[in-house]
Amino acid sequence: MNQPETVSPSKPIVLTIAGSDSGGGAGIQADLKTFQAFGVFGTSALTLITAQNTLGVQQVYPLPPEMIAAQIEAVLSDLPPQAIKIGALGQADIIGAVAEALRGVDVPVILDPVMVAKGGASLLDPAATKALIHGLLPLATLVTPNLPEAEALGTALDGKNVLLKGGHAAGETVMDCLRWQGQASLLTAPRQYTRHTHGTGCTLSAAIAAGLALGLELPQAVADAHAYVARAIAAAPGLGRGHGPLEHAVRPERIGIDSAAER
């Protein structure tokens, strides 16, 4: 029997494990468009299907955990990624299946916890939150919570690399804080007063994963991703009657992080 040909990849591969947004602004759709913008090859494992648009989410259908695990295994066995991004998982058994499927995988993992919606509603019940803390946090190279999610995770984030997203805070300047290897660095951008910000968290974490797959150190990958999201918001196509999507086709530009302060 002929053995499959081994081919050296022509570009880095990134795997996203997340939900589907039928409106195309967040989730798997945003991740794959972001990967394309950064010049990496995107693969995916779908965790849940949503019926949603810019006005909100109408329905959510979680996929069976065994099917999610099968997707991950299929990708890992033939298209081994250089980085992994994890997004919306929804419930404890899905979180457990993802954690088990990734056990022993030695590549950077970016975890966007997707625990609290923009309006403040909880997206994970207590059992799922516990599964996230004990099953996935130990596997994460970087966790990217917003302020309500960081509050919910509390001391579970101690000792982890964390990018705390400051978009929920008031003020003319949006400040994100990267805690990495005992240092803290601020990333700032002027606040853009627009309703077209749907999918910013998904896009940010996907862009970080892409940067790591391209061989960047974590602080530079975060800085590039932060700049990319700001440009994608500014170039938003103005679609929909609610919270519209970003323009993922903008070209990423490299910038530096503000001076780090030791903690």
Q: Which amino acid belongs to residue 202?
A: C
* Catalytic residue selected from 24, 87, 202, 203: 202
Nearest one of 110, 155, 116, 154 to 136, comparing CA atoms:
110
DSSP 153-173: HGGGGTTS-EEEB-TTS-SSE
- 136/244 Cα distance (integer angstroms): 30
Query: Is 199 a residue of the active site?
Result: yes
* Catalytic residue selected from 24, 25, 87, 199: 199
- 97/66 Cα distance (integer angstroms): 7
* Catalytic residue selected from 25, 144, 165, 211: 165
Query: Is 201 a residue of the active site?
Result: yes
The DSSP call for residue 236 is: -
| Length in residues, the chain | 263
Strand 109-111 and strand 142-143: pairing?
A: parallel
In degrees and rounded to multiples of 5, residue 107 shows phi and psi of -140, 160
- 43/80 Cα distance (integer angstroms): 10
* Catalytic residue selected from 34, 50, 129, 200: 200
Query: Is 202 a residue of the active site?
Result: yes
* Catalytic residue selected from 197, 203, 211, 244: 197
Contact predicate 30/52, CB 8 Å = no
* Catalytic residue selected from 23, 27, 90, 201: 201
User: Among the residues of the chain, which ranges form H helices?
Assistant: 27-38, 65-78, 92-102, 126-131, 147-153, 200-213, 218-234
Query: Is 90 a residue of the active site?
Result: no
Nearest one of 90, 78, 180, 5 to 164, comparing CA atoms:
180
What is the crossing angle of helices 200-213 and 27-38, to 10°? 40
What positions carry a catalytic annotation?
Answer: 165, 197, 199-202
